[in-house]
């Protein structure tokens, strides 16, 4: 028995929202990207600016088991001086790992 071929691809969309719950939309077949549009704290903004102005951060690439996300500053010591940034990265990595039921998360940070 012949199976008809699909001749056109379904439309895919990017969705955005002001709540982290928007990430759940990535499970929809018609969504290829979910964007969390959020305001960041002044402390986080200041730390990002300071890190970039400092000039010694050249980027990093690492993989951490989800059970060790709280040790991000140990894995990338330059982040020790930036607790708000480190905490925000940990939060996002934790959310991502929960959403996709991961045992480890890969991080690539670039200036």
Residue ranges covered by each domain of the chain? 11-39, 41-109
pLDDT value of position 55:
83
CA atoms within 13 A on the CB side of 94: 12
Whether residue 72 is predicted with pLDDT greater than 70 in this model: the reply is yes
CB neighbour list of residue 101: distance below 8 Å, 6 or more residues apart: none
Q: What is the dihedral of CA 68, 73, 79, 83, to 10 degrees?
A: 90
The mean pLDDT of 75-97, rounded to a whole number, is 92
What is the band of 47 on the pLDDT scale with cuts at 50, 70, 90?
Answer: very high
Whether the per-residue pLDDT at 78 is higher than 60: the answer is yes
Lowest mean pLDDT among 5-14, 22-31, 48-57: 5-14
pTM: 0.81
């Amino acid at each position: 028995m012949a199976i008809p071929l699909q001749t056109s691809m379904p439309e895919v969309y990017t969705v955005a929202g002001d709540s982290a719950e928007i990430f759940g939309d990535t499970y929809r077949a018609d969504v290829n990207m979910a964007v969390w549009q959020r305001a960041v704290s002044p402390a986080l903004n200041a730390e990002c600016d300071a890190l970039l102005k400092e000039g010694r951060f050249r980027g990093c690439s690492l993989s951490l088991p989800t059970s060790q996300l709280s040790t991000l500053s140990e894995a990338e010591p330059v982040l020790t001086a930036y607790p708000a940034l480190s905490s925000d990265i940990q939060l996002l990595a934790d959310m991502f790992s929960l959403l996709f039921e991961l045992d480890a998360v890969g991080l690539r940070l670039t200036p």
